[in-house]
Structure 1
């Protein structure tokens, strides 16, 4: 699989991974608009070159071309991160946004559930980007109605606003059968729907469970043994792609280990092709053996 065919400077700059709504799976994006499909079963390999640079904000290049740390998931300098955040839905800076939004219930594994909102135009892309194994919609309507209902459910049910990726990774290799996953989501939808106080302008939606296990390639996935901590200049990563869940690549490496590569750590790096037998020539950390338990009703 060719990740970075030779350009004039010998490298392609990574713009991050994504889950196009009109595509069958995840892709890795490159500066300039090119994409590489992330198809389970393919051999891949890449090597980082130089320094990691800020990717800018809101479609604009970073005016400082700032160097950013290798271990941060967001490849933005402080100023670009502030600008990007100021125009995000999470910042609540656009209360009169006329676009419709949806409230969702996302299931990542037994006891790992969150409630969130996303723009209706994005469809289920937001759920795939987070690595949600299963989900259902709860309601749709104006932004502030969706936000109020989201906050109501979080407070009433003790649902967190985020779930750490280590917790998501820890359960991917030991998921219950699809029928059990669907039954749990149906039960949680019923509990959420029964709560009083939903925004009147939010249309309630029936429970229709969507399961991403097959799309991600999670069937038969063995437990991960290590996680890439960061890329470094000259450091290579290579292996056979076993699964892609959210931003995470699960790579089978020489010696039958399973390495997790968070593609958010690739963003901002210039990459060149490397052999699929490279393994992990970058700093890694052991995969945590246990996950934290989620409190609350869910």
Structure 2
């Protein structure tokens, strides 16, 4: 493998950045800062391989399914999950966590937690169009609050990613977006004294809107979404928006195509003509999707 492996889309300091590492494991990694209006293109080569777990390479270099957003074999996925916050295996974690409410579209609001030191990066990684903090405190208090909202208010902790993606094309105005999440915040705050953990400090409501950060206002409706790469397949176009793990690319022959960058991890990638378009499998936005991740 002589090309580069993409490690996915990240959002440090509120801007989209692609991470890269050598497919053969040699040399330092690098990042590509993305800018809306910029053209980009790459071609996949060979097979898709497991990306390993917890910073360690897969011991067997397993081939993984092209449609999976995890890019890990079963054993590496188990090891990675066992050390994650979501697995609830680190009850004595001394760090401070925050509980948040995230809005992805009309009727699509979820509750979640993230490490306070990460700031709002987790919300941008999930593609949250609007969010507000709800509270802060120890991990177990944050977990109990998350469960309280699920049981008392029926607020989910996951939303299928295909639904999030489809909702971006028809967003209500900023005031309406903020009003919906504020309504949920008030219902959640009313639970204090009814099971709210004493160790969790409630934070004031403040809606943070990411539509501008994501570039959604001028992106236009998405026509298709990539379902997986293939050997020799090309993805190329002009970047018009980015949200969560997704890149929205304007292509010369297929309109705006959405690429979930979790699908490109584990592939050996080389550069391609930015005007080459898309020659990998796609599906109409809203007409299906790839296997969802922990979002």
TM-score normalized with structure 1 length? 0.91
1:92 maps to 2:88: yes
* 1:49-80 Cα distance to aligned partner (Å, 9 max, x none): 11111111111111111111110000111111
CA distance in structure 1 between the partners assigned to 2:47 and 2:83 by the alignment = 28
Please name the residue that 2:11 is paired with. Answer: 19
1:244-259 alignment runs, 5 A limit: 244-255=242-253, 257-259=255-257
Residues 103, 109 of structure 2: 8 Å contact kept: yes
Aligned residue among 175, 179, 182 for 1:183: 179
Structure 1 residue 255 displacement after superposition: 3.4
CA distance in structure 2 between the partners assigned to 1:15 and 1:224 by the alignment = 24
3-state SS in 2 of match to 1:72: coil
CA distance in structure 2 between the partners assigned to 1:210 and 1:88 by the alignment = 26
Please name the residue that 1:238 is paired with. Answer: 236
Unmatched tracts of structure 2, length 5 or more? 22-27, 289-295
Please name the residue that 1:28 is paired with. Answer: 18
Structure 1 residue 220 displacement after superposition: 3.0
Please name the residue that 1:275 is paired with. Answer: 273
Structure 1 residue 209 displacement after superposition: 1.0
Please name the residue that 1:217 is paired with. Answer: 215
Residues 113, 146 of structure 2: 8 Å contact kept: yes
* 1:80-112 Cα distance to aligned partner (Å, 9 max, x none): 100000000110001111101110000011101
Unmatched tracts of structure 1, length 5 or more? 1-8, 291-298
Residues 8, 264 of structure 2: 8 Å contact kept: yes
CA distance in structure 1 between the partners assigned to 2:71 and 2:226 by the alignment = 16
* 1:157-179 Cα distance to aligned partner (Å, 9 max, x none): 11222111111111112111112
CA distance in structure 1 between the partners assigned to 2:238 and 2:251 by the alignment = 7
TM-score normalized with structure 2 length? 0.92
Residues 47, 273 of structure 1: 8 Å contact kept: yes
3-state SS in 2 of match to 1:139: strand
Cα gap change, 1:64/1:289 in structure 2, threshold over 3 Å: closer, same or farther? closer
Residues 103, 116 of structure 1: 8 Å contact kept: yes
CA RMSD of aligned residues (A): 1.5
Cα gap change, 1:94/1:24 in structure 2, threshold over 3 Å: closer, same or farther? closer
Moved more, 24-33 or 85-94: 24-33
Residues 173, 220 of structure 1: 8 Å contact kept: no
* 1:235-272 Cα distance to aligned partner (Å, 9 max, x none): 00111011000001111111361101000001111111
Residues 109, 181 of structure 2: 8 Å contact kept: no
1:120 maps to 2:116: yes
CA distance in structure 2 between the partners assigned to 1:73 and 1:265 by the alignment = 5
Q: How many residues align?
A: 281
1:124-163 alignment runs, 5 A limit: 124-163=120-159
CA distance in structure 1 between the partners assigned to 2:157 and 2:184 by the alignment = 16
Residues 38, 244 of structure 1: 8 Å contact kept: no
